[in-house]
Amino acid sequence: MIDNKEFEENYEINSPVFTRQMAREYTILLPTMLPIHFRFFEKALIACGYKTRLLNNHDDIIRTEGLKYVHNDTCYPALLVIGQFINALDNMSKEETHKVALLITQTGGGCRASNYIHLLRKALIKAHYEYVPVISLNAKGLDKKSGFRITYPLIKRLAAAMTYGDMLMYMRNKVISYEAHKGDSDNIVNKYVDKIGEEFLHNKGVSFRDLKKNINAIAQDFDKVEIIDTVKPRVGIVGEIYIKYSALGNNHLEDFLINEGAEISVPGLYGFLFYSCYNTIYDRKLYKISLLKTNLTRILIKYLERRENLMIKAIKKTKYTPMNSFDKTKDYSRGVLSHGTKMGEGWLLTAEMVELVETGYKNIVCAQPFGCLPNHICGKGVMKKIKSIYPDANIVAIDYDPSATKVNQENRIKLMLAMSRETLDSEVKH
């Protein structure tokens, strides 16, 4: 049995490396986080030659599995991601487990998200899967031995996948609460995930021209959905990145709010990437980091801005209001939280809350995982200040952890919705 401390320490150094040969033969398992985006990411990896499978195991057992292998005072997202991986391995034959690798993101920042990979490796030892290689997806070259290569074609496909994901998520949230025929919005999402996924395999759907064509088509399809003319409470969802987006992490928060008769807005993944880029620019101002790194980041910002602009322009041609450009979003935290606050979601969380209030989503659920200090500071910690600037902001912080009951969380959100309905008449349509 392999579980002693000495082995664990050596294992960190000698953990199985994902080799070039494995890249051809193994299936890479992806944990779920953003329901639409990750379907595109899966297709992007397949198009680059990797056998890939997106996990969709969502049972309560994942929490129990996580608790078995991760200390219960660790960040809740780590507990869920690791629980989901171990549960997936448990449901395979022994032979199959020898032909899979696990992919996990590593931010490389000061937060604990950089260490999830080590927690996962430790959990694999405990669960007797120490032979399963773990791939780190990071932008900082943290895993130099890996046979998983972040190549230019892969980066281009992932960027396209993120653009499609953000566009579909934004439009779906705008329309789904008003659709006259239930399922119309989800049908459009499924149509484009299949169509563009197929295009990726044929080296299409990635160029700027193809993106423009597809993004415009998505906007037009949503614009044609028949909607019911009514006014609903508008609710924004913010928080730690995993708990904000993952239905597994937030107990299907989006579905719950839609079923309760609200229109929801969830800031896109573009925001998080821009936030990471701008942190490099601010680090240059504050700590004088390398000018070369700053200049490369500026090029990346321009690349992303061109694609963000595609979405904004396409939505402007419909009856719906487009998202703000991040260039505007980033300034919303001014006067509330400094741009030097960048652990976890840092100033982005504050900026997103202020932006939501400014754009008519005065009701906000701030989803906070257990064990997350930075987001409690940049979320819960700034609510009083935001409410002092916007007295009609109706913000509620909801804690998510393995022992928090869904009923309790939902009751608090229902209370927030009840308060929002009192002021509903003054809400603006669409």
Angle CA 94–96–101, to nearest 5: 115
Task: Provide the H-helix boundaries in 207-290.
Answer: 208-223, 241-245, 253-259, 269-287
Rule CB under 6 A: say whether 30 interacts with ligand SF4. no
Stretch that binds ligand SF4, among 95-103, 105-113, 321-329, 403-411 (CB under 6 A): 105-113
* Shortest Å distance, C-beta 374 to ligand SF4: 5
How many residues sit in the footprint of ligand SF4 (CB under 6 A)?
12
Contacts 24+ apart (CB under 8 A), 184-187: 184/225, 184/226, 185/222, 185/225
CA distance 170 to 263: 11
The pair of structure tokens assigned to 347 is: 């100033």
75 counts as binding ligand SF4 under rule CB under 6 A: yes
Residues within window 10-29 making contact with ligand SF4, judged by CB under 6 A: none
Site string for ligand SF4, 200-239 (x = CB under 6 A): ----------------------------------------
Range 373-392, binding ligand SF4 (CB under 6 A): 373-375
Query: CB-based burial of residue 21 (10 Å sphere; 0-12 exposed, 13-18 middle, 19+ buried)?
Result: exposed
Write phi, then psi, for 205 (nearest 5 degrees).
80, 5
Nearer to ligand SF4, 236 or 369 (CB): 369
Whose Cβ is closer to ligand SF4: residue 118's or residue 212's? Answer: 118
The pair phi, psi for residue 426, each rounded to 5°, is -85, 0
Q: Residue 50 CB, nearest distance to ligand SF4 (Å)?
A: 26
Minimum distance, C-beta of residue 245 to ligand SF4, in the bound complex (Å)? 12
Query: Quick one: 235 or 243, whose CB is closer to ligand SF4?
Result: 243
Of 106-114, 132-140, 222-230, 406-414, the window that binds ligand SF4 (rule: CB under 6 A) is 106-114
| Structure token digits, residue 165 | 């994901």
Residue selected from 221, 240, 263, 352 as contacting ligand SF4 according to rule CB under 6 A: 240
* Residue 347 · residue 358 · CB < 8 Å: no
Buried b or exposed e, range 124-158, using 16+ CB within 10 angstroms:
bbebebbebbbbbbbeeeebeebbbeeeeebeebb
Nearer to ligand SF4, 280 or 375 (CB): 375
Q: Which two tokens stand for residue 341?
A: 């606050």
CA distances from 132 to 79, 103, 127, 172, 263 (A): 18, 11, 11, 37, 42
Q: Which is nearer to ligand SF4, 214 or 368 (CB)?
A: 368
Site string for ligand SF4, 281-320 (x = CB under 6 A): ----------------------------------------
Do residues 228 and 345 touch, judged by C-beta distance below 8 A?
no
d(CA 231, CA 194): 33
Beta carbons of 421 and 233 less than 8 angstroms apart: yes
Q: Does 77 bind ligand SF4 (CB under 6 A)?
A: yes
Which residue shows structure tokens 């789904």? 176
Kindly tell me which of 268 and 344 has the beta carbon lying closer to ligand SF4: 344
**Rounded to the nearest whole angstrom, what is the least distance from the CB of residue 239 to ligand SF4 in the complex?**
10
The alpha carbon of 360 is separated from its chain's Cα centroid by a whole number of angstroms, namely: 23
CB of 400 to ligand SF4, least distance (A): 10
Nearer to ligand SF4, 104 or 211 (CB): 104
Task: Pick the stretch among 12-20, 320-328, 371-379, 390-398 that binds ligand SF4 (CB under 6 A).
Answer: 371-379
For residues 112-151, which are near ligand SF4 according to CB under 6 A? 112-113
DSSP 62: H
> How far apart (Å, rounded) are the C-alpha atoms in residues 320 and 310?
15
Residues ≥6 apart with Cβ < 8 Å to 76: 243, 249, 369, 370, 371, 372, 400, 401, 402
Binding mask 317-356 for ligand SF4 (x = CB under 6 A): ---------------------------x------------
Q: Could you say which of 103, 127, 211, 372 contacts ligand SF4 (CB under 6 A)?
A: 372
Binding site for ligand SF4 (CB under 6 A): 75, 77, 111-113, 240, 344, 369, 372-375
